[in-house]
Structure 1
Amino acid sequence: MKTELRKVFDALSTIYETQVDSSSYYNAEYERPGMLAEIAENLNDKSILDAGCAAGWYTNELLVRGASVTAIDISPQMVEAARRRIGERGKIYCVDLEQALPFADASFDIIVSSLTLHYIRDWSSTFKEFNRILKKGGEIIYSVHHPFMDIKNAGEQGYFETEAYVDSWHKDGQKFEVPMFRRPLHAIINETTKAFKLNAVKELKPTEQLKELARGSYDYLMSHPHFLVVKGTKE
């Protein structure tokens, strides 16, 4: 599955680099505003890991806010796209979040992970590594698929297990089969609290601007929640 995931995101890298920022309301008017509201505007003197950076949108935003940013992604082509976006302003590596992370203990003040963890079956080892590389009192802020969305997309599979499924994405006239995992809400919360103090769980709402831009999408997201934002602290 990991090989397939890497291949599909390599294939998606150009679309992420050139189109997603401007064409996807689900990013621009839904997930990103919800995540950014949980991140300080002034990140001067903060060291941040962007875990699952894709084409580097969050990497750039965190740099603009003053942070020292290290970004990682499993897709080599996404890594190259992110490098084109930020140049020499940050560090970017091709890293698998299911493996030991190549960073020293207590390296980061904050870990940001946008819509990445649902590609990982076992969060326990990943969160253990996140805890290791965070400083005491450091924060983790991540977004993930809402279980409501996943169970609808997964069809007849059961709710209470962590299960693999494949989602079909249609972008730029192409169809992409994207492998991922769905899990129930209690698994999201319990895995987080094994490693961190839970500070907040936020079910995202679309921006009011989306109501003007695409009322149908706004109404749909208000009745069909797609993403959660979870925030925790290393004690």
Structure 2
Amino acid sequence: MPNKTKEAFDRLARIYETETDSLFNTDYERPAMMANIPENLNGFSILDAGCSAGWYSDQLLKRGAQVTGVDISPNMIEAAIRKTGGRAKMICHDLSETLPFDDASFDGIVSSLTLHYCKDWKPVLSEFSRVLKPSGWLLFSTHHPFMDWKLFECNNYFSEELLHDTWKKSGQTFDVSFYRKPLEKIVTEASRFFSIDELIEPKPAESLYEKHPANYEYLTNNPHFIMIRATARS
């Protein structure tokens, strides 16, 4: 993750923890992700990779899982600890480095909107594969490459590039950078270590139409995120 982005997320932690989430999260990405996670996680050990302020960790706990969360931002980890009330194990760690877990430690991994901050996916996905039990599952979401290509007016869809964005939240400005990969690269990287079960281009939840019809219309016709559900090779 670029240093400025890490610093931005340290500053964003309190906002993520205390303020209303973006509709693109609450009525688009999250419903689609949760629909692809088993309802009953009793007895399952799940890694929340890139846990941010702990929303997914909390939901996984509610479904009965034993949860471990990892995030590069110490402020996000503190927010996640508060969100989960100490019921989950939270570790500040860079996903591009070797994970501090034994082989075959987890039944599943959830990674929400995190991988696009990593330049090289190979070591990250290799570690995901290592710490998963045989036939364990991975579910991750990331930016849809078409969206970034279109919004940032990239010259070459097939190139991998570092993009820069400015977010405005709570009267503050945050400089955030992330990496764009073409769809072919996303699928190829994932399939090196996993058997891909499904590639998902989510549609917005109907609840978004009631809250913001314009966003609903936009997301119904323009891909914004992409999700991959995969199984570790035994």
Q: TM-score, normalised by structure 1?
A: 0.97
Q: Which residue of 2 aligns with 1:4?
A: 4
Query: Does the 8 Å contact 1:121/1:162 carry over to 2?
Result: no
Shift of the alpha carbon at 1:156? 3.3
Q: Which residue of 1 aligns with 2:194?
A: 196
Query: What is the identity, as a one-letter code, of the residue corresponding to 1:126?
Result: V
Task: Give the direction of change, closer, same or farther, for the CA distance of 1:177–1:194 in structure 2 (3 Å limit).
Answer: same
Shift of the alpha carbon at 1:159? 1.1
User: Aligned partners of 2:120 and 2:198: how far apart in 1?
Assistant: 22
Deviates most, 174-183 or 55-64: 174-183
Query: What is the identity, as a one-letter code, of the residue corresponding to 2:40?
Result: N
Shift of the alpha carbon at 1:225? 1.2
User: Aligned partners of 1:76 and 1:54: how far apart in 2?
Assistant: 10
CA offsets per residue over residues 109-153 of structure 1, 9 Å max, x none? 000000000000100111111000000010000000011111123
User: Aligned partners of 1:178 and 1:145: how far apart in 2?
Assistant: 14
User: Aligned partners of 1:171 and 1:201: how far apart in 2?
Assistant: 31
| 3-state secondary structure, aligned to 1:14 | helix
Alignment equivalent of 2:149, drawn from 102, 127, 151: 151
Shift of the alpha carbon at 1:161? 1.5
Q: Which residue of 2 aligns with 1:122?
A: 120
User: Aligned partners of 2:172 and 2:3: how far apart in 1?
Assistant: 20
Moved over 6 A (4+): none
User: Aligned partners of 1:126 and 1:189: how far apart in 2?
Assistant: 14
Q: Which residue of 2 aligns with 1:42?
A: 40
Alignment equivalent of 1:169, drawn from 154, 167, 176: 167
Q: TM-score, normalised by structure 2?
A: 0.97
Query: Does the 8 Å contact 2:5/2:175 carry over to 1?
Result: no
Shift of the alpha carbon at 1:87? 2.1
Alignment equivalent of 2:55, drawn from 41, 54, 57: 57
Task: Give the direction of change, closer, same or farther, for the CA distance of 1:177–1:62 in structure 2 (3 Å limit).
Answer: same
Query: Does the 8 Å contact 1:50/1:70 carry over to 2?
Result: yes
Alignment equivalent of 2:88, drawn from 87, 90, 94: 90
Alignment equivalent of 2:99, drawn from 95, 98, 101: 101
Shift of the alpha carbon at 1:214? 0.8
Shift of the alpha carbon at 1:2? 2.8
Unaligned runs of 5+ in 2: none
Shift of the alpha carbon at 1:18? 1.0
Query: What is the identity, as a one-letter code, of the residue corresponding to 1:13?
Result: A
User: Aligned partners of 1:174 and 1:148: how far apart in 2?
Assistant: 28
Shift of the alpha carbon at 1:154? 2.7
Q: Which residue of 2 aligns with 1:178?
A: 176
User: Aligned partners of 1:128 and 1:45: how far apart in 2?
Assistant: 25
Query: Does the 8 Å contact 1:153/1:167 carry over to 2?
Result: no
Give matches, 1:19-34, under 5 Å.
Answer: 19=19, 22-34=20-32
Query: Does the 8 Å contact 2:107/2:136 carry over to 1?
Result: yes
Unaligned runs of 5+ in 1: none
User: Aligned partners of 1:124 and 1:65: how far apart in 2?
Assistant: 30
Task: Give the direction of change, closer, same or farther, for the CA distance of 1:118–1:161 in structure 2 (3 Å limit).
Answer: same
Q: Which residue of 2 aligns with 1:207?
A: 205
Number of residue-to-residue matches in the alignment: 233
